[in-house]
Structure 1
Amino acid sequence: MEYPLKGGASVDDAYFEKLSDAAAEGDYPGEPGEWLVRPQGRPKLCNEDPVSVTFKMPRSQYDALSKKAKSLNESRSEYLRRAVARDLGAIA
């Protein structure tokens, strides 16, 4: 199988086998690079401590909410956060 890479090149299973065999013998090609350490967990949504909000709604609203969020390729939470921010922004 062939796997396309970001720069336009591609590698295949034979390439991975070759790397695997070399690594098994302690041979790692290339030069060691700098380790990049990223923060663990989800990215922050805001600069404040988040709180959870839970409430009930009629099933028909829940279904409509789910459908709308999906049509925008968002989670329900993302959609609701935007809707609340839009509404509160209009008040403030």
Structure 2
Amino acid sequence: MVELRSQVGLVQVVAGWGLDSASVDLGVLEGAPRSPQATGVVPVDATGSLFGEIILWVTDGYLSAIEYAWYGDEPPSILPDIEMISIEMRV
């Protein structure tokens, strides 16, 4: 997880998942440390009681996407404010 945290300052949005989607693909700039977590979902729960959950994806040891899985009928077009997100590490 230390490597993924250090990638945060070196990440950029490279594509959106759809016209009005809040989910995005990420690219990590060269020089960032690779995480031993090769591919899959980062073991963190980031949820909000009313809006949904934020899922972080890793590919080949690098942060690769932020997925916003929402609750309700209408998909949001932006991510929620950080103050609205509760974060817990899974072990």
Q: Mark yes or no: TM-score above 0.5.
A: no
Normalised to the residue count of structure 2, the TM-score between the two structures is 0.19
Point out the structure with the larger strand share.
2
* Higher alpha-carbon Rg: 1
Normalised to the residue count of structure 1, the TM-score between the two structures is 0.19
Higher relative contact order (CA 8 A, sep 6+): 2
